[in-house]
Structure 1
C-alpha cells in the first residue's frame, strides 16, 4: 500500500521543489517547502482511503488504524532524497550493531528499527532500477531522463534556471548514471543487500556501472575521433556483453537450483504427509475394529445377564410354588 501511494497523483515532475523559492508554487506554499511532493502523495492517498470504497482501515481497531496511519506517513516521507544520507547513516549504525551482537540492531521487538527497515526498504525500491538487468535498467533510465528533460524545457520556457540534470543539451547520460550509482544507489543498496543476504542486486548494479563507464569511454573516443580509442571501447563493450551473458546464466542456474530444491522439498513433504495419513488411517481402522469387538462383547455380556435374570425369576417362581 505504501509503495503504491508513494507516487499517488504524481504530476509527472521529478521529486524536488518544482520552482525556485523566489517563484510561488501553490503546492510548495501548502507544505512550506518541506518534502513537498512526498507530503502531497501522503495527504492525497490518505484522503482517498477515507472514502468508503477504499477504506482499508474500516475493520481495524482504533489503535491499530492510528499506528498504520503513522507508519504510512513516515514511510512515504522517507522517500525524499534530500534526507537520503541521514537514513543511510542510521541504517548502517543498526547494521553494525547487529554484526557485533545479533539482535541488538534490528529486532521484531524494537519499533524504531522496524520503522527504519520499512523506510529504508521503500527508499531502496524507489531508486533500485540500476540493480535490475541492463535492459530494464536502461528503459527506466531513459524514461526518467525524459521526465527530467521535460522539466528543463518548461523551466527554460518560463525563464527559470534549469534544474540539475534537466538540460538535454548538457547532460551526458553515461556520466550522470555513473554518478547516480556511485553517490546514491550503492550507499543505499550495498548495506540493504548485506542485511537481506542478497547478492544478485549488487551483481547487476556493478555490471551496469561497468557498462556506463564503457559507454562513457566510447562517447569520449567518438568525440575525439581517435580510431584506437574507439576500437578499444568496442572491444570492451563486447567483453561486457559476454560477462553479462555469463552472469545471467549463473543467476538462472542459481534460481533453477532453488526452484528444484523447493520442488523436491514440497514433494517429499507431500509423500511424508500421505504416508502419515495412510498410517493414521490404518491406526484409526484398527481402533474402530477394536471398538466394534468390545461393543460386541458388551452386547453378549448384557444378553447373558438378561438370561441369568430370567432364570433367576423362574427359580424364584418354582420356590414359591413349592
Structure 2
C-alpha cells in the first residue's frame, strides 16, 4: 500500500493507519444484509420465512351414485391456503367457501369440479374434468293390502296412507313397511323393490283386543269400565284393549259389584254377578194382631206385616193398639238380611 504524505508544516503525517477504519461500514453492511453479500440466497424474489404461493389439490368421496348423491370434498392444497372457492359445476359460480365442503347433486349428469385457493403470496386452481357422475334413480312400485282394511301405512317411517294402497316411484332396494290399526297388533316387514316392477304385500292383522260379555241379577245394572259408563246389563263390550281393566256394576238399592280383570287378545270373557241388595226385610207379628206398625215414625200398616226394601241400618219399630201400651224395639238390619219381630202388647 502506498503511503500518503500531507504537507502542511514542518511535520509529515502518515494516514495509512486510518484506511481500515474507513472501510468498516461497508464490511458491516455486507454481513448484515445477505442479499447484498450474495444474491444467490434469494428464492423466487422472497426472503427466507416468506410463504410460497399455494398449490391447489383435492379429492372427493363418493365419485358416482344415484340421485340425490351427497359428496364430501377434502382439500389437499399445499403451502397453507387461507381462502377456498369451490365451483362444483365448473360454471363460474362459487358454490362454497368452506375448506372441506359437503354438497348434494340432485340432478343426473357428469360434473367437473374446480377448486381455487389463495394466500398472501398468490393463488392457484385445480380443475378435475368429469369428476362426479350422478345417474338417475331407478324406481318400482309397492301394492299393499290388509285384512281388515284401512290400516295406516308407514314406509321407512313416513306415513303414506291407508290400505288398500299402491305406492309409485319407490326407490330400488330394501324398505321397511309398517301397518297400524286401532285394536290390532302392528304388522311390520321388509320388502325389496326392483326397478319397474311391483312388489306385493298382503298383511293379516292380529287383533290385540278382547271381548267382555256381562249379565247380572237383577238385570239393568249400569256397567262402568275403567271409570266410563258403557251401558246396562246384559251387555257385550267389544274391542277392549289387552291388559288390566276395572269393571263395576251399579244398581239402585243394591251393593255395587266390582272386579279387576285381565283381557287377553282374541279372547271373550264372561261375567254373571249376583248383586247384593243394600236393603233388608222386616217381618212383624204381634199379640194380639192387627196392631198399627210404625217404622221410624212412619205408619206402614197392621200386623202381621212384611216390610221389604228397608235400607240397611238401625230402625225403630213401634206397635200401637187401642187399650194397650205401645210396644217398641230397635232393629239392626244388614244388607240382604231379614229380621223377624214379635211384639206382645200389654194393657
What TM-score bracket applies, with the shorter chain setting the length?
under 0.3
Name the TM-score, length of structure 2 as normaliser. 0.18
Bigger-Rg structure (1/2): 2
Name the TM-score, length of structure 1 as normaliser. 0.19
Q: Specify which structure has the higher proportion of helix.
A: 1
Q: Specify which structure has the higher proportion of strand.
A: 2
Higher relative contact order structure (alpha carbons within 8 Å, sequence separation ≥ 6): 1
